[in-house]
Amino acid sequence: MKRFVLSALVALTAAAAAACQAGSGATPPQEQIDVVSIRSELLQIAKAEQTYLAMYSKYGTLEELQTEKLLVDAPDRRGFTFSLAINGTDGFVVTAAPADPGKTNWPTLTIDQTSQITEKQ
C-alpha cells in the first residue's frame, strides 16, 4: 500500500510539474540542449579567432581556423547554419541560425570578438 501511495504521489507531482511547465511557455528540453551546444560551439570559434588574430594579425575564415587546427573537431551543428562575417582586424560576427524546418521558432545566436553571445527569437 505504501508503495502504491508513493508511486501515485510521484506520478501526480510529475504531472503537475509538466502542466506548470507547459502552461508557462517554457523552452522545450531538446531546444535547451541544442542551444547550449550551439553556445559552446560559438565560444570555441571565438577563442579560435582570438588565437588566429594573435598568430596572423587578422581574423580567419572558418576554413582557415580548421586548417590551423584551431577548431579541432567538426562542429555539431544540430540543425543550425553557421556564418562568419569578418571586419578586417576590427572584429568578426559568427551567426548560428536554425536551418532545420522543425526549428522555425528557435533562436538565432551570434558571437563577436568580445565573446558575448546574443540570442534573438
CA angle (115 as vertex; 81, 98 as ends), nearest 5 = 20
The predicted model gives 98-102 an average pLDDT of 85
Q: Quote the percentage of the chain above a pLDDT of 90.
A: 56
- Taking 70 as the threshold, does the pLDDT of residue 10 lie above it? no
CA distance 23 to 59: 45
pTM: 0.74
3-state secondary structure string across 22-79: HHCCCCCHHHHHHHHHHHHHHHHHHHHHHHHHHHHCCCCCHHHHHHCCCCCCCCCCCC
Residue with cell 565573446: 115
CA distance 43 to 92: 13
The tens digit of pLDDT for each residue in 16-67 reads: 344 444 445 688 888 899 999 999 999 999 999 999 999 999 999 999 999 9
